[in-house]
Amino acid sequence: MKIGATLGFNLIDYPGKIAAVAFTTGCNYLCPHCHAAPLLRNAPDLGSEGFLQYLDTVKDWVNGVVICGGEPTLQPNLVPFIGKLRDRDLCVKLDTNGSNPKVLERLLGEGLVDYVAMDVKGPRFLWPATAGVEGHEEAMAESMKLVAKFPEYEFRTTVAPVPRGDGEITFLTVHEMAAAAKLIAAATGGAAHKYYVQKFVPRKNGLLDARLEAFPETPVTLLQEIHKEVLKYLPNTQLRG
């Protein structure tokens, strides 16, 4: 499996676990606010063997692995790689954009992943702008249904600046975030999901769309207004810094 970067371990990326992190290369989205641009542009392949060897040296305290990216479900060797993690009795968390429901269905059916975090790119009518590509709307809706069946899962949306059709760039609005919450509830047939509303953090020379680097972090007042409204549709919504 192609791995472009790794993190030794932390207590943040996998709730309740001490987890190492593997960042896969490549993605089928071009989200303007993406922080992972280096993984999408000719990133070196570090390979998986070195990462697996590292896990063997920290097996006494690391009990989980996060696979993120890029988009991990594009990797043809994802399943065998997870199998090697399972052989080491490690819990597995997958971060995904939801564009490959067939892969998620297999992971679910074979019980390979313990926790899935799916990025919801705002309301459906804005997905071409927030994801930077068109044509994945049906797949993302199907993935929402599948994600809600995993042992643990979360949905999350970054309240980022969005390039509008007229050239204007503005943050996702309260109305748009409410539409995203209603979409999750409708697609899954329920509302008792963990949903995280995340702030956008600019990064110089690190975003896929350099125009967004001039924006500040998402205003706290906007996050609070969004949280209040979204709670009407997904009562387990939380703000995440």
CA pair distance 202, 171, nearest whole angstrom: 13
8 A C-beta contact, residue 222 and residue 176: no
CA pair distance 111, 133, nearest whole angstrom: 31
Domain 3-240 is found in CATH 3.30.360.10: no
pLDDT in tens, 113-146: 999 999 999 999 999 999 999 988 899 999 999 9
Q: Give kind and range of the element (H or E) at residue 119.
A: strand 115-119
The backbone torsions φ and ψ at residue 122, rounded to the nearest 5 degrees and listed phi first, read 85, -165
Per DSSP, 172 falls in state: P
Instruction: Quickly list H helices, the chain.
Output: 37-40, 49-57, 78-87, 101-109, 127-131, 137-147, 174-188, 220-230
Measured CA distances, 178 to 87, 209, 224 (Å): 42, 25, 13
The backbone torsions φ and ψ at residue 201, rounded to the nearest 5 degrees and listed phi first, read -120, 115
CA pair distance 195, 229, nearest whole angstrom: 13
* SS3 state of residue 107: helix
pLDDT in tens, the chain (241 residues): 999 999 998 999 999 999 999 999 999 999 999 988 778 777 788 889 999 999 999 999 999 999 999 999 999 999 999 999 999 999 999 999 999 999 999 999 999 999 999 999 999 999 999 999 998 889 999 999 999 999 999 999 999 999 998 889 999 999 999 999 999 999 999 999 999 999 999 988 778 999 999 999 999 999 999 999 999 999 999 999 7
Per DSSP, 126 falls in state: G
CA dihedral of residues 218, 120, 93, 208 (deg, nearest 10): -60
8 A C-beta contact, residue 237 and residue 156: no
pLDDT in tens, 79-90: 999 999 999 999
CA pair distance 139, 19, nearest whole angstrom: 29
8 A C-beta contact, residue 90 and residue 64: yes
**What's the pLDDT at 166?**
81
